[in-house]
């Protein structure tokens, strides 16, 4: 029996190695295609340069030749929200600005039936497409004076700014909910409410609204017959009610300071602080407040969050892993 088991293990190891080699061969073919399609630095649009700079700032290894994984990054966060982190990496990968490090990331890649790579962006490691010299220039330029008016007029820039502010709210909501043993469903309905609020309120004000809404939901559990699931489902309605009270003037316009457990991300620094020359601007200001001084009178309009959550945007539906007792 021992001999049979040994032969079985050897066969399984041989098959696993054959599968590994076949996958590595295909991954390296994809790498070759990427490497032959890297855009020159001069061809990069301004928004992709900012995204690349934020990635270098947050995930760049000591040698700046490759990234550390999102899983292993314990320093400056790339963005305020894990799903947005992965979206940024996928965007840069699709632009051939990040090249998959096949040997280091083999176990985090699968090949689907359509012969497409499916990558675990949370654990994979990537190589930067450009030299250290060019990456350093991109990072320096991202922190220097730039044509803010042109960026404000760029729909891609506005879309990423909107995602940043939405990510700040979602991250804070999840944290506050977990601390109160609640798990509100985070889907299209809640995201739509947050988008509407962000068109009028800063993230700072939204943090107060979220804090108040979750506290109200936690107090709701104390009522007879109310379960934690009932209370969790009440959070989105609470956010609407608190927002309406503030917006109508019934309540004072409260703002919050940034929580130490939600530090400013590399992307927020580059997209807000360096572009608009304000301290933590994406937290303390609405996009309309930041954008308006740089818009011409003809294009002056209220900032819209309508592009978030549509077919062109990432679906931020998430599940908060909690053991909620129905009592």
Q: What residues contact residue 250 under an 8 Å CB cut-off, 6+ apart?
A: none
Residue 169 DSSP code: H
What is the Cα 89 distance to its own chain's centre?
Answer: 9
Residue 227 in this model has a pLDDT that exceeds 90: yes
Residue 183 in this model has a pLDDT that exceeds 50: yes
Q: What residues contact residue 219 under an 8 Å CB cut-off, 6+ apart?
A: none
- Please give the structure tokens belonging to residue 66: 């490759």
Which of 209, 206, 202, 207 lies closest to 284, judged by CA? 202
Q: What would you measure as the largest C-alpha separation in the chain, in angstroms?
A: 84
Helices marked H in the chain: 2-35, 46-59, 82-94, 102-105, 132-142, 148-152, 155-179, 188-198, 203-220, 228-233, 235-248, 266-268, 274-276, 281-284, 287-291
Query: Exposed, middle or buried, 135 (CB in 10 Å: 0-12/13-18/19+)?
Result: buried
Residue 297 in this model has a pLDDT that exceeds 50: no
The pLDDT of residue 73 is 95
Residue 205 in this model has a pLDDT that exceeds 70: yes
The pLDDT of residue 326 is 45
Confidence of residue 161 (pLDDT cuts 50, 70, 90): very high
**Between residues 322 and 85, the one the model is more confident about:** 85
Phi/psi of residue 40, nearest 5 degrees: -70, 155
Segment 132-159, tens digit of pLDDT: 999 999 999 999 977 899 999 999 999 9
Residue 198 in this model has a pLDDT that exceeds 90: yes
């Amino acid at each position: 029996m021992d001999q049979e088991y040994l032969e079985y293990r050897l066969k399984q190891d041989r098959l696993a190695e054959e599968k590994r080699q076949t996958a590595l061969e295909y991954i390296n073919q994809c790498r070759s295609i990427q490497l032959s399609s890297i855009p020159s630095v001069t061809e990069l649009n301004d928004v992709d340069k900012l995204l690349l700079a934020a990635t270098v700032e947050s995930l760049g290894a000591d040698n700046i030749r490759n990234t550390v994984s999102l899983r292993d990054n314990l320093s400056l966060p790339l963005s305020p929200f894990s799903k947005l982190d992965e979206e940024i990496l996928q965007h840069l990968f699709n632009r051939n600005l990040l090249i998959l490090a096949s040997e280091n990331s083999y176990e985090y890649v699968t090949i689907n039936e359509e012969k497409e790579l499916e990558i675990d962006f949370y654990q994979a490691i990537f190589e930067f497409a450009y030299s250290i010299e060019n990456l350093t220039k991109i990072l320096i330029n991202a922190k220097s004076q730039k044509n803010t008016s042109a960026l404000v007029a760029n729909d891609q820039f506005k879309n990423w700014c909107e995602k940043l502010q939405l990510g700040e709210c979602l991250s804070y909501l999840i944290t506050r909910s977990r601390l109160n043993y609640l798990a509100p469903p985070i889907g299209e309905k809640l995201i739509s409410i947050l988008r509407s609020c962000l068109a009028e309120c800063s993230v700072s004000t939204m943090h107060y609204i979220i804090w108040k809404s979750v506290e109200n939901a936690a107090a709701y559990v104390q009522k007879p017959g109310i379960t934690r699931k009932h209370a969790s489902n009440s959070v989105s309605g609470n956010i609407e009610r608190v927002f309406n009270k503030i917006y109508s003037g019934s309540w004072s316009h409260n703002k919050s300071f940034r929580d130490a457990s939600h530090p400013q991300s590399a992307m927020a620094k580059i997209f807000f602080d360096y572009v608009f020359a304000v301290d933590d601007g994406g937290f303390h200001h609405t996009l309309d407040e930041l954008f308006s001084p740089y818009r011409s009178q003809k294009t002056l309009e209220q900032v819209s969050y309508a592009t978030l959550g549509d077919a062109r945007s990432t679906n931020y539906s998430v599940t908060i892993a909690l053991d909620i007792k129905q009592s």
